[in-house]
Structures are given as C-alpha cells and as structure tokens.
Amino acid sequence: MASAPSKLYADDVSLLMVLLDTNPFFWSSSSLPFSVFLSHVLTFLNSILLLNQLNQVVVIATGYNSCSYIYDSSTSTNQGSDNGRMPARCVNLLQKLEEFVIKDEQLIKEGLREGIASSLLSGSLSMALCYIQRVFRSGPLHPQPRILCLQGSSDGPEQYVAIMNAIFSAQRSVVPIDSCYMGSSNSAFLQQASYITGGVYLKPQQPNGLFQYLSTVFATDLHSRAFLQLPKSLGVDFRASCFCHKKTIDMGYICSVCLSIFCKHHKKCSTCGSVFGQAQSDVNSTSNKKRKTPET
C-alpha cells in the first residue's frame, strides 16, 4: 500500500506508531512477564531507528482506562542514564511508561468499567491516526506511516463502533495496521484491522522469541514488503458487535438507514430513531381488509 511518491523522503523511510498494551489484568495472568515483553519491544525499537537515520518511532501506551504518548523519537533528548548503561530513548520511555501505569492504576481503583477487562484500543488508534494526520499536514515531505498494535488484552465489544471507525479512517488514509497479538485466542478486531488496511496480523506461537517475530515481520518498510513472503491469516473473524448490548453476534438485525446492528428486533432504532416494521404492518392490514368477505 504505497502513498504518493512526491510526499515521501524515500521508499524505505518509515513512521512507526507503536501501540503498547499495558493492561494489568492481562499481564498479571500472562505466561510472558511484562518486563520481558518490554525488553523485546525496546530492542525492536532500537533496531528500527538503526535501519535508517530518518526513521521515526512514536509509542502510545494503551491502558485499561486511558491512553498517552510516552515516546517520540523526533523530540527525545540525548541524555542517558547516570551509569551510561542504558540508552537515552530507553530512559525516557521507561520513565514516561512508569508514570502512565501509575496514573492508569489509580483510575482503575476509582471504578471498573462494566464488561470485559479490555484495553482502550479505540483511543490509542485514534491518537495514532491524529498524529499521522498532523504529519501529513506538516509539509510535502514525510515518511511512510504505519501502525503496529502490540496487544494482549481481549476485545471489548463496547468499543466496536469506535474501532471500526478508526480502521476505515486508516484505510482511507492508506495507513496499514499491523497486529502482533499476545493473547490466548485471536483478536477479531485486530484481524479485521489488518485485513482491511492491508497490514500483517501475527500471533506468535512462542512468546519468548518475540523479538525474532518483530524483527523478521514488522521491521520491514512498506516498500520492501512487496519482495517478501510475509505471514497471512488463515481466517478472519468478521463478526460484529450489537449496538444494544455490546455483544459479539453471528446473526442480527441491521437498520436500513444508519446500518446499526441489533441482536434482537426493536420497534425503533436507538441510533437514528427510524421506526422498524411500520411498512410491513400497513401491508398486512391492507391485505387483511381485501380478504375479508361481506356478511350475508
């Protein structure tokens, strides 16, 4: 999925938006500790910046209640740790990440959302797309943008509408969404996001080798992908979530006006207010009058 050549520095220059899942409900039960996961991600980010000096990396933390920018390579400083053992980018990222996790945990203590303990993926996708649009409007020259979702939490059906809006916005802007899912089962939302936008969906079979998956699949720029055999999903779960109960359904009712989806029949659309079944009831009443015979 190539953008207009006149708007690029070069074919191999990338703007990588990384969405980092920090949901404590997932990592507390994951076989891969969050510290090990983070070490793989930091090594991967370093390799991206080493591939091309014009490459740019932006990291967005995706928590349970909030999202936040925690790292931007274009604005990061060159100051490292006191002992000189840790690169500057790692120091800045880890500091911002720690502040974000503490703040998100405080919001969790104030009250849990109803439903599945999923991360706020819709919010981080929207933030990534807003950043990309700002880069588009900064001038005629910019790198090729793409989004990488490092997700482990299960899908939140209540976010279906917001996530699908973000997916179609990315498709319209020619921004592929890559997905590396660490959960036990596949993510229908991320499968659809990668399929619709032309990205890559991958579920690592061996989480301990995460860096190898990241470096061999997601480190390649969009131009080089045309010459590689990247993994493809065997199947995509296209099931939608109903607007009334926010649950994933196999079959349902769709409003012909606003395309809202419902798991049960309603007399009126809760989204646009359209009345269901009015025309059908008029037809039924008319046919009954015609079949009625006069009394003798």
Give residue limits of the domains in the chain. 14-77+85-226, 239-277
Task: For 187-217, give one letter per residue: b (16+ CB within 10 A) or e.
Answer: bbbbbbbbbbbbbbbbbbeebeebbebbeeb
Q: Give the pLDDT confidence score for residue 111 in this predicted structure.
A: 60
- Average pLDDT value for residue range 47-62: 93
User: Which residue, among 258, 250, 289, has the nearest Cα to 275 in the 3D structure?
Assistant: 258
- Say which residue the tokens 């059908």 belong to: 280
pLDDT of residue 7: 44
Token pair 């604005």 in the structure block, residue: 75
Q: Evaluate whether the domain defined by 14-77+85-226 bears CATH number 3.40.50.410.
A: yes
* pLDDT value of position 174: 93
Poorest-pLDDT segment among 47-56, 94-103, 268-277: 268-277
If one counts every other C-beta atom within 10 angstroms of the C-beta of residue 120, the result is: 24
Mean pLDDT of the chain: 82
The pLDDT of residue 215:
94
Instruction: Name the pTM for this structure.
Output: 0.80
Which tokens go with 46? 């370093």
Q: What is the token pair recorded at 231?
A: 């993994």
Distances 169 to 31, 162, 256 between C-alpha atoms, Å: 34, 11, 22
Distance CA 27, CA 169 (A): 30
pLDDT exceeds cutoff 80 at 114: no
pLDDT digits (tens, 9 = 90+) for 24-42: 999 999 999 999 999 999 9
